Structures are given as structure tokens and as C-alpha cells.
Amino acid sequence: MATSTELVGFPRVVPVFAISGVLLLPGGRLPLTVFEPRYLALTDDALGAGRLFALVQPAPNTVTDTVVPGLYSVGTLARISAFGETGDGRYIITALGIARFRLAGEVEGRSGYRRVLAEYGPFAADSLPQIGPAVDRRRLVGAVSAYLSRQGLSTDLAKLESAPDTELVTALAMASPLSPEEKQALLEAPTTLERARLMTAMFEMALLAEAGDTIVH
């Protein structure tokens, strides 16, 4: 019987681009500047092998339940959708999020970068239509806008007003100024709806905490 990995046609072994504080969700696009020798080599290898690689956040020492030491247990399979070179040896690429996966182990690395075994089965539902309650868009956008405004950051979210729920939540989650731990939590949220609720709670709590600081001081 074919495994879930075989059924979807995704690679079992994937090279890892380990970046802290970066979130890539399926369907999202992430621009990256590549300059470390190991990741330049990874990019070269990926370009010759389907343009696929994985984005996985390094895990802090306090996280001890990881399958692969030093890496969080959930990452994102990505495809290089755009590639360019600079005059000083760097690459400029755009990574398109394809699918989430759970790290199932590690194999021998190449040219300084790590490679892991990917299990896509736990996130097979990502490719199915989202059925259930709609995202509370007004509350989510309101919380994010209020937080960004308070931080003096851009709050122009008008271009997302007509976007579908998944596109809206993906864009906000990837662009929001959150900690690596918070971004990992958003990555691991089971559904778009739960991701939206979690993100709303994060920003509402941050706003309440800032209001409390203002009152105390």
C-alpha cells in the first residue's frame, strides 16, 4: 500500500533551510536572500532537483521533545518559484509554500546543510476544502491593525479586504511581527480557522499587556 508521502508525490528526504523567526505557510510566498555557503550549495542542489527544499525553524534548547535535535518538529516544504543572482555572490529567491510536514528523522547532510525525513500524512487535510465556521475577519484585522498602529508600523491592509479567508490569514501570519515561538505555534495550528483565532488572541493579549504597562507607568 502506498504511503501518504508517495501518494502526494512529495520528497521523503528534503534539504533544510533553517531560519529563526521566519514563517512560510502553504500558498504563501517568501523572499529570501541567500548568502551563507551552505545555503548557496542547498539552493544549487535544489535548482537541479525539482526546486524543492524545506524551511524549518531552529528550536531553542528549552524545546526538548523534538525528533531532530535543534529543529522544531514541523516545517514547510517549499518550491523556488523565482531565482536571481547579485553581483556579490548572493542569491535572491522566492519560496512558495507547498505543504506542511512533520520531521520524522535526519539523514546525512550535504555541503554543510542538513537533510531530514518528511512525513506529510499528519497535514493531509491541508489540501482539502476548509469546511466550518468562517474566520472572524473584523476581529482579526482589527487586532492586528491596532497593534501595528501602536508600534508605529504600516497598517494598510486594504488590499486584503477581498481576499479569501485562507489567503488573508496566511498573509497576516507571515507578515506579522511575532516571536519565533509564536510563529511556530501558528504554523502548527491545525486549520485556518484555528490559526486565525490563535493570532487574534496573540495580538489582543499584546494590546492588553501594553495597556497595562501604560497604566502602571
Q: What is the pLDDT of residues 16-37, one digit of tens each?
A: 999 999 999 999 999 999 999 9
Residue 68: what pLDDT?
Answer: 94
Identify the residue with better confidence: 198 or 2.
198
Shortest CA distance to 59 belongs to which of 107, 109, 114, 98? 114
Name the grid cell of 117: 525525513
DSSP state of 201: H
Q: How far is CA 93 from the centre of its chain?
A: 16
Q: What is the pLDDT of residues 125-171, one digit of tens each?
A: 888 777 778 899 999 999 998 888 888 776 667 778 788 899 999 99
The residue among 180, 183, 24, 198 whose CA lies nearest residue 95 is 24
- pLDDT, mean of residues 90-99: 97
The pLDDT tens digits for 37-84 are 999 999 999 999 899 999 999 998 888 788 999 999 999 999 999 999
Q: Is the pLDDT of residue 7 over 60?
A: no
Q: How far apart are CA 196 and CA 208, in angstroms?
A: 18
What pLDDT was estimated at residue 79? 97
Domain ranges of the chain: 9-127, 137-216
- Backbone CA torsion sign across 185, 60, 74, 180: positive
Domain 9-127 architecture: Roll (2.30)
pTM above 0.85, yes or no: yes
Determine the pLDDT at residue 48.
Answer: 92
The mean of the pLDDT values for the chain is 89
